[in-house]
Structures are given as structure tokens and as C-alpha cells.
């Protein structure tokens, strides 16, 4: 069951098609997608939908199906599924339909994979508790850093470490703008260019005011540091007030300005910081990066693509394989 069929949902369909052979080899068959819904319509087939056809239909008609629905929970109830891939758009204020869908799925004992930051940034502990009570698996690698492995990396490879802090760049849009400002562009012009390239939305508030980074920090604080915090607990400063002057001033000291999210047992903060040129966090362009400070392993730095249709879907694939492996008792 896939809820949400925008860029990421279509990416998931495409990735499942591209990995047909791999999934068949590993599990005997590609997992059946029995239902896909976008914001208004739904299409179902208990025998498994033809994903290529649905992507085509969505692109041609802007709808996944001809059947319109009014209540997504009724759709969920009408389908026999065991895993929800929740990829509706992030709503950081209310959690949106994603929060409802995830809650409902857990209440019905279904596993969930999501890249929707809203529900997690607002009600992390409730959702984790609900998953646990109902014996459901819950994975959300793609919520932070897109294709850059970070959550599962900390939960699995680094599970024996005491992670002291994570600092990083978790928003490619801001980083693109700041990188352009390094080259002398004023903020407004850099933002406009980011919008023209599709990196920034028409209303860029969510990115440039640091809200998106803050949501990701909340998810890291809860999932890696086992804190019980939500979006309102983050100290947030965005980049919209950064002047060309400030950037030039930084450059004269061989520094760049980057929007850094920092999380630890006591910190939960998003703010523009001065980073020495050449420092890993001084990275340019749209990549995301995270520096993990682990007590035994020492510092570990990872970077990768923080967004993109196939890239984000690849994080969902990684979560899907982890869940299917557990179900199949794979090593």
C-alpha cells in the first residue's frame, strides 16, 4: 500500500520496477502493491497493481485512478495490506494526512515506512509507542538526509556506540543558496536561482527559515538520542537574514556560512554557523552531510544526496529490504 503518489511515490514505483530481479531473487517475488492513492483518487488490485501503468496514468492524467475517495482511512480499511509506504507531503504544522494514515496503520497492526517528516517531528514518541504496542515495524531512513544513510547507520552499524553528537547540513536548498552567496551572489538572487532549478519551492519558508532542518533534527534527537522532543523544542534560526556582507566578512576570515543542525543529549539547534574553509561541513552544493561523534569509533562523517526522486526512493527501498529480511528471517 502506497499513500502519496507525487515525486517520491512515483520514485518508489520506479525503484520497485528496477529492482524486480533483485527482489524476486531475494524473496521469491516482488512485493505486491495492492493499492496506491494520491490526494484524491485511488486504485486497487489485490493481485498486485501494474506500477508502470499507474506511473504513466498519473503523469498523463494527474491521477492514479478513476475512483475518487474522501477519507484515506476508509481506503486503508478497504484493502488487505501488511505494509504502508507513507509518502504524502510533509505538513510540519499539523502532521497532515500522513499522521492520520500512519496512526491508523499501526492501530491495525501494519508495518510502516515513511519519508514524511511532519508526523515524526510532531509526535515521534506517540508513534513509536503505538508501533511497539501493536508489534509493528516502523522505518524512516529517508526522513533525514535522503539517500545519505544516517538513521539506520546509527541504529545498526553504530548501535554499540555512545553517540555524543550529530552535526550536519540537512537541507540542500539552503546549502545551494549559501554556496552561491560564497561566490558573491546576494541572497535574493541565489534563492531565485534555486527556485528556477527546482531546488526551492515557490514559498521557500520551510527551507530557508530552517524548519525543514529542524524537523530532521527532531527525528535524530528522538531516534538516535532517545529524547522525547518535538518541533517546538528546536531553537531555530534560518538563513533569510544572511547578508552578502556577512558572507564577505566570513570569507575575509577564510570561513563560510552554513546552516548547521546540531543534536546531542542536551542540544537541539538549527543555526547559520561560521565554518572554516576546507572543513567537511563547509561543503558546497546540494549534498547533505553529517558528522557523527561516537565514543569508541571516533568521528564518522558521511555525505550523500539529500533529495531527489530516485534517491529518496532508495532510502525507502533500504527500509523495505530491512523489513522483508526480518519477516523472511534473513541474516
Does 294 interact with its own copies (rule: CB under 8 A)?
Answer: yes
Reading the block at residue 188, the C-alpha cell is 535574493
Neighbours of 262 (CB within 10 A): 18
Q: Is 117 annotated as a binding residue?
A: yes
Query: Whose grid coordinates read 509493528?
Result: 136
Known catalytic residue: 216? Answer: yes
CA dihedral 210, 215, 219, 220 (to 10 degrees): 0
- 121 closest CA partner among 138, 143, 103, 100: 143
3-22: contacts with its own copies (CB under 8 A)? 15, 18-19, 22
How far the first Cα of the chain sits from its last, in Å, is 26
Query: Whose grid coordinates read 533525514?
Result: 144
Smaller CB distance to its own copies: residue 100 or 139?
Answer: 139
Going residue by residue from 264 to 293, which x/- string records binding to its own copies, judged by CB under 8 A? Answer: --------------x-x-------------
Does 149 interact with its own copies (rule: CB under 8 A)?
Answer: yes
Please give the distance of CA 92 from its chain centroid, rounded to a whole number. 13
Q: Is 8 annotated as a binding residue?
A: yes
Does 152 interact with its own copies (rule: CB under 8 A)?
Answer: yes
Which of these segments, 70-78, 147-155, 239-247, 261-269, binds its own copies (CB under 8 A)? 147-155
| Length of the chain as a residue count | 331
Query: Whose grid coordinates read 530491512?
Result: 322
Cα separation, 60 vs 145, whole angstroms: 31
Going residue by residue from 311 to 330, which x/- string records binding to its own copies, judged by CB under 8 A? Answer: x-xxx-xx-xxx---x----
Smaller CB distance to its own copies: residue 158 or 246?
Answer: 158
Q: Is 210 annotated as a binding residue?
A: no
Does 32 interact with its own copies (rule: CB under 8 A)?
Answer: no
Candidates 28, 60, 68, 159; binder of its own copies (CB under 8 A) is 159
Cα separation, 13 vs 2, whole angstroms: 9
Smaller CB distance to its own copies: residue 189 or 284?
Answer: 284
Q: Is 67 annotated as a binding residue?
A: no
For the stretch 50-81, what's the b/e string if a residue is b when 16 or more beta carbons lie within 10 angstroms of its beta carbon?
ebeebbebbeeeebbbeeebeebbebbeeeeb
Q: Is 58 annotated as a binding residue?
A: no
- 87 closest CA partner among 108, 113, 66, 65: 113
Candidates 73, 128, 134, 137; binder of its own copies (CB under 8 A) is 137
User: Catalytic one among 40, 183, 216, 267?
Assistant: 216
Going through 104-162 in order, the beta strands assigned E by DSSP cover 111-114, 138-139
Positions in the binding site for its own copies (CB under 8 A): 15, 18-19, 22, 137, 141, 147-149, 152-153, 156-161, 278, 280, 294, 296-305, 308, 310-311, 313-315, 317-318, 320-322, 326, 331
Annotated binding site for NADP(+): 4-9
Annotation: binding site: 4-9, 117, 201
Q: So which residues are the catalytic ones? A: 216
Amino acid at each position: 500500500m502506497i499513500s502519496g503518489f507525487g515525486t517520491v511515490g512515483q520514485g518508489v514505483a520506479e525503484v520497485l520496477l528496477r529492482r524486480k530481479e533483485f527482489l524476486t531473487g531475494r524473496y521469491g517475488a516482488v512485493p505486491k502493491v495492492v493499492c496506491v492513492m494520491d490526494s484524491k483518487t485511488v486504485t486497487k488490485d489485490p493481485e498486485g497493481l501494474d506500477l508502470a501503468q499507474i506511473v504513466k496514468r498519473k503523469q498523463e492524467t494527474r491521477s492514479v485512478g478513476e475512483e475518487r475517495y474522501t477519507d484515506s482511512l476508509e481506503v486503508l480499511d478497504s484493502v488487505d495490506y501488511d505494509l504502508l509506504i507513507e509518502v504524502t507531503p510533509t505538513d510540519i504544522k499539523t502532521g497532515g494526512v500522513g499522521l492520520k494514515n500512519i496512526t491508523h496503520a499501526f492501530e491495525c497492526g501494519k508495518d510502516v515506512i515513511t519519508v514524511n517528516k511532519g508526523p515524526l517531528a510532531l509526535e515521534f514518541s506517540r508513534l513509536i509507542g503505538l508501533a511497539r504496542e501493536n508489534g509493528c515495524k516502523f522505518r524512516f531512513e529517508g526522513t533525514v538526509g535522503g539517500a545519505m544513510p544516517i538513521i539506520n547507520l546509527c541504529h545498526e552499524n553504530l548501535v554499540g556506540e555512545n553517540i555524543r553528537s550529530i552535526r550536519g547540513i540537512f537541507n540542500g536548498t539552503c546549502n545551494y543558496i549559501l554556496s552561491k552567496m560564497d561566490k558573491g551572489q546576494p541572497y535574493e538572487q541565489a534563492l531565485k536561482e534555486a527556485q528556477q532549478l527546482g531546488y526551492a519551492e515557490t514559498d521557500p519558508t520551510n527551507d530557508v527559515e530552517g524548519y525543514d532542518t529542524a524537523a530532521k533534527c527532531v527525528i535524530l534527537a528522538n531516534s538516535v538520542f532517545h529524547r522525547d522532543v518535538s518541533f517546538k523544542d528546536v531553537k531555530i534560526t534560518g538563513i533569510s537574514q544572511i547578508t552578502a556582507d556577512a558572507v564577505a566578512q566570513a570569507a575575509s576570515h577564510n570561513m563560510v556560512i552554513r546552516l548547521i543542525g546540531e543534536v546531542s543529549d542536551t542540544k537541539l539547534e538549527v543555526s547559520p554557523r561560521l565554518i572554516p574553509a576546507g572543513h567537511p561541513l563547509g561543503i558546497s552544493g546540494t549534498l547533505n552531510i553529517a558528522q557523527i561523534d561516537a565514543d569508541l569509533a571516533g568521528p564518522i562523517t558521511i555525505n550523500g544526496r539529500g533529495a531527489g526522486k530516485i534517491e529518496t526512493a532508495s532510502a525507502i527501498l533500504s527500509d523495505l529490504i530491512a523489513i522483508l529480511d526480518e519477516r523472511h528471517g534473513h541474516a
